[in-house]
Amino acid sequence: MKKLLLACMFLVAIVTQSQETSDFKTETIEFVKLTGAGAAFDNAISQIGFQVSEANKEAYTKEANATLDGLYDKIADLYMKEFTQSEIKELIAFYHTDLGKKLAIKQLGLTQKAMMFGQSWGMEVSQIAQKYNE
């Protein structure tokens, strides 16, 4: 009887942990989408499929969109290693604010511009390094 009770308790713990992990994953995917990633991925699908013929565009878009679940799952795993479920909930709350929504809209453009600044800076530092390499 003790073994049966222990086995039941173990099973309940596993199911509870699984549900918590599933909720955490769902919340993390919601967070990723709120950051503007969804719009960025939609834009990428559109740009990549630009040359797909109109006759095949709908099928392409459907198949390309089907790949997003796997991508969101991988990105969620990445964030779940860095943030707790409580922190993800706080981030979701932030992205539901006006400021969070503004950040989500502007973040991709800002990141792209910052990357250009970083590339220019890298070339500048590379020239400095070459000067001292002579």
In a domain, 118, yes or no: no
Q: For residues 106 and 28, what is the distance between their CA atoms, to the nearest angstrom? A: 20
In a domain, 87, yes or no: yes
What does 65-122 look like in DSSP terms, one character per residue?
Answer: HHTHHHHHHHHHHHHHHHS-HHHHHHHHHHHTSHHHHHHHHHHHHHHHHHHHHHHHHH
Contact 87, 28 (CB under 8 A): no
In a domain, 90, yes or no: yes
Contact 45, 59 (CB under 8 A): no
Percent with pLDDT over 90 in the chain: 71
In a domain, 72, yes or no: yes
Number of separate domains in the chain:
1
Whole-number pLDDT of residue 38: 87
In a domain, 103, yes or no: no
pLDDT tens digit string along 38-66? 888 999 999 999 999 999 999 999 999 99
In a domain, 121, yes or no: no
pLDDT tens digit string along 80-111? 999 999 999 999 999 999 999 999 999 888 98
In a domain, 109, yes or no: no
Residue with more model confidence, 71 or 16: 71
- Segments forming the whole domain that contains residue 78: 2-96
In a domain, 131, yes or no: no
Q: Model-level pTM? A: 0.70
